[in-house]
A and B are shown apart, each in its own frame.
Chain A
Amino acid sequence: MTAPEGPEALVRRGTVITAIALLGVAGVYVLAWGYTPIEARQGVAQKIFYLHVPSAWSALVAFSLVGIVSALYLWLNDPRLDRFAAASAEVGLAFSAVMLTTGPIWAKPIWGTWWTWDARLTLTLFLFFLFIGYLALRAALQDPGERARFSAVIGILGLLLVPFIHLSVYLFRTLHPQPVVLKPSRPSLPPEMLRTLLISGAVFLVLYVGLVTIRYGLAAAEEAGERGDAA
């Protein structure tokens, strides 16, 4: 058995993974602008797809993991699970910010409006606010056990919203298009577009891993500082 990695090693490793992922994001920019064709009906604005969709996937993965890990925390009472949940929630909010800004910028030229209160958009905004509340709650509570328990409940509530968000385009009449990849039938995209989207999805997931590793190391360093350990 090897000793668990210290906060400094975690932050260093996370920084390396994040740097590689950000280079990957730069590669996605090049692919989106230089490799994928211009969509006939939507024009160049459709290229927002290669950022908007992967950031949405990453945000939903991040928030789902918060819920799953929070349930595990309530069962096992392991503080590492709480630390991971907090890290995943914060990184999920960063990806949500990308999704919720690129979405309206894409909507304006295609739908003629920046925002519409349909089910998919409203539920996604609600999830964003729920996790802002999650982080606000964590900041307000001083007792670590109480903070972990209360925030775990919010995290599980967030997880319950995720399937509704994915299925909202089937359950309600909505302007938001239906999934083109994550659906029972084959993806309905030309190969260049599908390839670029899948590469972007993978790059965003690596970025998620890198950012969560840094954020986890940061929380571990803060706890070590409070206890008076050396990092």
Chain B
Amino acid sequence: MPPENAGYAVAAYIVAAVILLGYTGTLVRRARRAIGRARRS
């Protein structure tokens, strides 16, 4: 019988999603702000 450790896998998948989505969201917001500043200048 394989060991019961599904909780670790679920935690890892949640952590990876938070990092990837969090970084993508931050990056897109930063890019939009930079484009806004470049337009105003």
Interfacial residues, chain A to chain B (CB-CB below 8 A): 7-8, 11, 14-15, 18, 22, 25, 29, 32, 38-48, 51-52, 55, 94, 97-98, 101-102, 105-106, 108-109, 207, 211, 214-215, 217-218, 221-222, 224-225, 228-231
**B41: which A residues are within 8 A, CB to CB?**
224-225, 228-230
Please tell me which one of the listed residues A14, A43, A97, A102 contacts residue B6 in the complex, with CB atoms under 8 A apart.
A43
At the interface, is chain A mostly helix, strand, loop or mixed?
A: helix
At the interface, is chain B mostly helix, strand, loop or mixed?
A: helix
With A39-B2, A218-B27, A228-B41 known as contacts, the answer to whether A45 contacts B34 (CB < 8 A) is: no
Distance from A178 Cβ to chain B, minimum over Cβ atoms (Å): 21
**A101: which B residues are within 8 A, CB to CB?**
12, 15-16, 19
Q: Are A106 and B8 in contact (CB under 8 A)?
A: yes
Q: Are B12 and A41 in contact (CB under 8 A)?
A: no
Per the CB 8 Å criterion, the residue count for chain B at the interface is 29
**A230: which B residues are within 8 A, CB to CB?**
38-39, 41
* Complex Cα spacing A175 to B41, Å: 55
Interfacial residues, chain B to chain A (CB-CB below 8 A): 2-6, 8-9, 11-13, 15-17, 19-21, 23-24, 27-28, 30-32, 34-35, 37-39, 41
**A207: which B residues are within 8 A, CB to CB?**
20
Closest 3 interchain pairs by CB?
Answer: A43-B2, A221-B34, A231-B38
* Complex Cα spacing A12 to B37, Å: 16
Q: Are B4 and A51 in contact (CB under 8 A)?
A: no
